[in-house]
Amino acid sequence: MSTDEVESKKRRRTSTQPMDAPDLLVGRVLEGRYRLERVLNAGGMGIIFEATQLSVNRQVAVKVLKPTLTRDPSLVERFQLEVDMVAQMAHPNIVGLIDTGIDTTGLTYLVMEFVEGKTLRQALRAGDLKLWEILEVYGQVCNALIETHGQQIIHRDLKFDNIMVQRMRDQSIHVKLLDFGVARLLSWDKRLTQGGQVAGTPGIVAPELVDGLDPSPRSDLYSLGVLMFTTFAGQAPFVADNDLALMQAHKTEPLPNLKALVGAQVPEEVIDLSCELLAKAPEFRPQSATMVRRRLEKMARRIRERFPDATSYMPPVTEGLEKPASATFDTDIKRFTQVGETKGADGDDRGWIGWIFPRPVVAPMTVTASLSLILMILVVIMIYLFFEQVSVTGTNAAKEADDEQEVVEESEESAEATEYPQYYDFPEPMQGPRPPTP
C-alpha cells in the first residue's frame, strides 16, 4: 500500500470523529470538490470557512454544521431550512448560494459566494465611510430586507458582522447581507426554536421577540435601528451585565438621547429615523423596509450635495463598535435557566421555570409585572373600602348621637310635665256691667 493510500485511510478514520474545533477541519476536502482553507467565523451551530472550489479554482465560503450537532434532528432541520431559504433568494444585496451537500462522513455543508471586503463593524472602526455612505449602506440593507420580507423570511440576526461592505473600483459601495441561520420562514408552521429559547443576538433582538411573540418585518427594522444608533453614537443604546438583563433593558428602559450623544454632526432627520426604528411597540415603527429605504436615500442625497468634501464619519466614542467579548452574543440560540444564567447548546435543563413557562424566561417577568399591577389595584380597592367603612361608621355614630340627644330632650320635657301638672282650669272673667257699690 502506498504512502498516499495510508494517509487517505488515516484521514477517513479520523474524520469520522466529532470535530467541533474549527482548526481541525482546515485542509479537509468535501466530496473532492471544496478544500477548506481557513476559518472565517464560528457560531453556535456552524463554522464558516474560506474554501477553494477545486473544479474552477475560485474562492468560496463554506458553512459547515458542527459535527456534534448532526445528532440533533431539529438543528439539522434548521440548517436545511437555511439552505432552502438562501436558495430561493437571488438578489444583489444577499449572499448567493452555490451548492449544498453531505460528505461521506456525514458532514453537512452549504457553499456560498465569497464576499471580498470588510464587515460593517470593521469598516466603521477603520473610518472608511462618510456619513452619506453609511446611510447608503443601510439603504442597501433595506433592499435586502425588502427581498427577504417579500419571501416571508425574517432574518432575526441583523448585526454588524452579518453585513459585508465592498468598495468597488469606481469607489461606490456595495453591501451583502449574510447568515440566515436563525431566520424565520413565516409560512413554515413548525417551530424550530424550542420553549425557553430566544433566537438571535440579545443586543439586537426586538422587545416583542423576548416574550416569545412571532417575528414580523418590523422586528428586523428594530435591529436596524440598533445598528444605526450604535453607528452614530459609537455605543449601544442599552448595556447590561448579562444577556437576560440586556434584553429586559430593550423592553423597559427609555431610549437614551441620541442627539445629546452625537451633537451637531448628525442631522436631526437621521436621528429621528433611528429613534423611530427603536420604538418599543412594533406598531410605532416605520411600516416597512421600503419606507425606511426611501427616507435613507433622500437623506443620503441631501447630505452628499450639501457636504461633497466631507471626511469619514467617526462617532464620539467607539466602545459599541468593538466585537462583543462574550461568546454568547454570537451563538445562534440562547437558553436561560434563571436570571443571569445561560445554558449551552447541549443543555436542556431549565429548572422549574422550564416546567411552568414553555416560553422564553423573560415571559415570567411579564407575568410578574402583571401580578404586581393586579396586587396594586387590590390594595387601592382595600384602602378605598376601608375609608368608605370609616365614613359610614362616623355617619352612623353621629346619627346615633343625635337620636340620643332627642331622647334626652323628650325625657326632660316629660319630667317637667310630671312636676307641674295643670289640674285646674280657672274661669274666665264675667262679662257685663259691674254691680253697684253700696
What does the angle CA 162 – CA 126 – CA 293 come to, to the nearest 5 degrees?
50
Instruction: Give the separation between CA 316 and CA 19, rounded to whole angstroms.
Output: 43
Q: Annotated active-site positions, please?
A: 157
